[in-house]
Structure 1
Amino acid sequence: MLEPVTDRGLDDLSALADPVRRHLYLHVLEQPDPVSRDAAATALGITRALAAFHLDRLVKAGLLLTEYRRLSGRTGPGAGRPSKLYRPSGRVVRAALPERRYEVAAELFAEALSAPDAGPQALDAAAENYGRKLGAESRRRAGAGANAEGSAEAVESVLRDAGYVPFHREGEIRLLNCPFHEIAQQHRDLTCGMNLALLQGLLAGADAPALSARLDPQPGVCCVAISAGAAAGPDRHSDPEAAADA
């Protein structure tokens, strides 16, 4: 759940940097059935050896999977060796800088819409529950018996992997990036409330009572700030723009 999306995405893009390999990958993606080395070589007008090299590199990168099957349909002695076939792994190639996590937002919105009481409260509940799962990972990283400093460091580690880019300003943890930035531009109140609920859930799941999250919209950073002590400032259902103007 917490593999840095951008790290993997950049690795995937690096694997596709070679134009021959990229065209082979696109060719396999567009076929309804697994592709043999011979078929791939013929389709791109390259040698079988070159096709095999690039196809196997795509398998190593996790972008393709292999299977073995006799294409002649014959079985038994004399049927020949099975051919090595390639098919998509199902992995989505994507990278964004700064990092975005729209699949998380989609999951939370879908969960909220399917709830009996669909609405902002259901979205907050879904976000808080997701945050608690991140908090459990933070608690695992901190280790048993971690002090407040160790817990805070683990929280920052999880925030970083979740795409928030935490940094310190005036004794607080601010978040340089919003993983839901484009959604927030169109639906600020809803997205900021979701973000706050998620981060409050993270802190609760991390068992980090010394830290609290609150809405504090400021230019150039995420709308949520994390500080020591009890939460202060606007609650999750207040207007972030009004808070920023206050």
Structure 2
Amino acid sequence: MAIRKGTVAERASTHAVLASGRRVRLLDVLRVSPTPMTISELAAVCDLHVTTVRFHLDALTTAGLVSAEPEPNPARGRPRQLYRAPAPLEPDHRADSGYERLAGVLATHWASAGDDDPAHRAEAAGRAWGLEDFTDTPVSPRSVEEAANTITTLFAEMGFDPALESTPEELRIRLHACPFEPVARESPNVVCAVHLGLLRGVLARLHAPETDIRLIPWETPHTCVAHLARHTSDPLARAPRA
């Protein structure tokens, strides 16, 4: 069963937040701050105007990614609003659910069973998942960029805390969290291959232009990155820089 949260409007709101670099920056700053922050403090750290920060915080709050609370015991006048955002859970603090244990057992067994390539079989399973389970995903023809936006939203709903990055040559979806991280680190050839297949299945379902796609597990110690090349048939593709 595909993971779904909220209404279409709510998912669109979450996607809009994640697609904004300034909002992602504000969210990152709040997540690492040991105390709640005011709009003025955030504006100073991010080098933004307070009006701009207020606008983006409203969107983050509406999407449920940031919470606001009045300042306790203000020195004078109206209390200021304080903003906070929960940090992603570290692997050692994640719930060791029955689902996670079952996933670990299955991944380990699949990785060692038979002579077939487990990564190939895992990718095929992920592709089938993307083609069959996301039945309410729009299927009108999409550019690679539009498809990447939709994939970013889907991965946000699944708990990957994604951020979409763009260059003239490619689109990157940086995954700052993985809900399956303990299992993925033990059996990346299975778990990460499933996610690669899922990406390719969703791209096919969206009727996106053919493109090269790679998923690099742990490109940094804490993030995985999906790379989607801009294909020449993509109307939004741009020529590489000289």
TM-score grouping bracket, smaller chain normalisation? 0.3 to 0.5
Q: Please tell me whether Structure 1 or Structure 2 has the larger radius of gyration of its CA atoms.
A: 1
TM-score (norm 2): 0.41
TM-score (norm 1): 0.40
**Structure of greater relative contact order (alpha carbons < 8 Å, 6+ residues apart):** 2
